[in-house]
C-alpha cells in the first residue's frame, strides 16, 4: 500500500522518501534517511550530519534548514518546510515515486 502525504511518500515496508525540489520547484531527487536518490530511485549521494557527499566520497555541499547548498553557499535545492534563505518557488506536481 502506498500513502502520499504532501512531499513525502510512505511505503508499507516503512520506506520513506521525501521530495527534494530544484530551483524551479520540480522534484530533482528524493531523500531516504541519509541516501539521496535520483528521480528514478538510484542512490546518487549521501548525507552525513550537515554535509552532502557524492558516491565517490567527495564533499559537494551542505544540508541545513531543509535546504541544500553547494560548496560556495548557494542554495541549489530545498525540501518542504525549508526555512531561511530566499523565497522558495512554488513546488510543481511531484512525479511518480521510483519503485
One DSSP character per residue, 76-98 reads EEE-TT--SSSPPPPPPPPPPPP
Q: Please write the tens of the pLDDT for every residue from 1-40.
A: 344 455 555 544 546 899 999 988 899 999 999 999 999 8
- In terms of phi and psi (left: phi > 0; alpha: psi -120 to 50; beta: otherwise), the region of 39 is alpha
Task: Report which of residues 48 and 92 the model is more confident about.
Answer: 48
Short-list 50, 48, 53, 55, CA closest to 66: 50
Report residue 21 as a C-alpha cell.
525540489
Q: Is the dihedral of CA 57, 62, 66, 69 positive or negative?
A: negative
- Tens digits of residue pLDDT in 38-51: 998 999 999 999 99
Note the pLDDT tens digit of each residue in 64-87. Answer: 999 999 999 999 999 999 888 777
Q: Name the residue with higher pLDDT: 31 or 88.
A: 31
Q: What is the pTM of this model?
A: 0.76
How far is the C-alpha of 4 from the C-alpha of 87, rounded, in Å?
Answer: 25
Amino acid at each position: 500500500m502506498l500513502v502520499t502525504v504532501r512531499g513525502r511518500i510512505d511505503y508499507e515496508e516503512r520506506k520513506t522518501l521525501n521530495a527534494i525540489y530544484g530551483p524551479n520547484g520540480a522534484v530533482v531527487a528524493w531523500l531516504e534517511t541519509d541516501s539521496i536518490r535520483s528521480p528514478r530511485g538510484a542512490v546518487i549521494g549521501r548525507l552525513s550530519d550537515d554535509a552532502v557527499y557524492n558516491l565517490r566520497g567527495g564533499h559537494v555541499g551542505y544540508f541545513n534548514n531543509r535546504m541544500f547548498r553547494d560548496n560556495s553557499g548557494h542554495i541549489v535545492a530545498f525540501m518542504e518546510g525549508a526555512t531561511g534563505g530566499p523565497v522558495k518557488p512554488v513546488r510543481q506536481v511531484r512525479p511518480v515515486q521510483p519503485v
